[in-house]
Amino acid sequence: MIRTLVIVVGLSALDPCDLNLPGYDGGEEGGSTDATTTTTIGTQCTQIITELCSQGLSRCALSYALSDCVAQNETQCCSSGDSCDQKSTSSQSDVDTCKTAIDNADCNYIVNAQLPDECQSLLHP
């Protein structure tokens, strides 16, 4: 019993971050999670247009199916084919800034499906 306790206490004192386990990089170097290397323009476009349509439904008294709104307005930020399938050079932070601007936009902009200035650099029609 005492031997087990000593082993448990001894193991708990090890810092798992200092262990060099095979196949584990400790979160450093390699294995990038940068959104610009894995996210397509189309994925970011869908996020932006979904936010626009959701705001229209929730606070601007528009009535439509969310999926119909997204499908009709996606051409604002990417056209089908090449531009939607390309890797994005914009970060998720840029997309989030755009979405926040949509959240704060006047309903007149949303009703007319106009994206705020913060979104303009993300558009690839």
Please give the tally of structural domains in the chain.
1
Residue among 88, 82, 104, 108 at smallest CA distance from 47: 88
Say if residue 22's pLDDT is above 90. Answer: no
Distance CA 27, CA 31 (A): 8
* Inside any domain, residue 79: yes
Distance CA 77, CA 46 (A): 9
Residues of the chain above pLDDT 70, percent: 67
H helices within 29-91, ranges in order?
A: 35-38, 41-59, 66-73, 82-85
Query: Residue 92: which pLDDT band, with cuts at 50, 70 and 90?
Result: very high
* Inside any domain, residue 78: yes
Q: Do residues 66 and 53 lie in contact, with contact meaning Cβ atoms separated by under 8 Å?
A: yes
* Inside any domain, residue 100: yes
* Inside any domain, residue 76: yes
- The residue ranking higher by pLDDT, 33 or 70, is 70
38: containing domain: 34-122
Q: Do residues 98 and 122 lie in contact, with contact meaning Cβ atoms separated by under 8 Å?
A: yes
* Inside any domain, residue 71: yes
* Inside any domain, residue 4: no
Say if residue 7's pLDDT is above 90. Answer: no
Mean pLDDT is highest, among 29-33, 47-51, 69-73, 120-124, for: 47-51
* Inside any domain, residue 38: yes
Give tens-digit pLDDT for 25-64.
444 443 444 443 578 999 999 999 999 999 999 999 888 8
Please give the model's pTM, rounded to 2 decimal places.
Answer: 0.67
Q: Going by C-beta distance under 8 Å and a sequence separation of 6 or more, which residues neighbour residue 79? A: 124, 125
* Inside any domain, residue 6: no
Say if residue 1's pLDDT is above 80. Answer: no
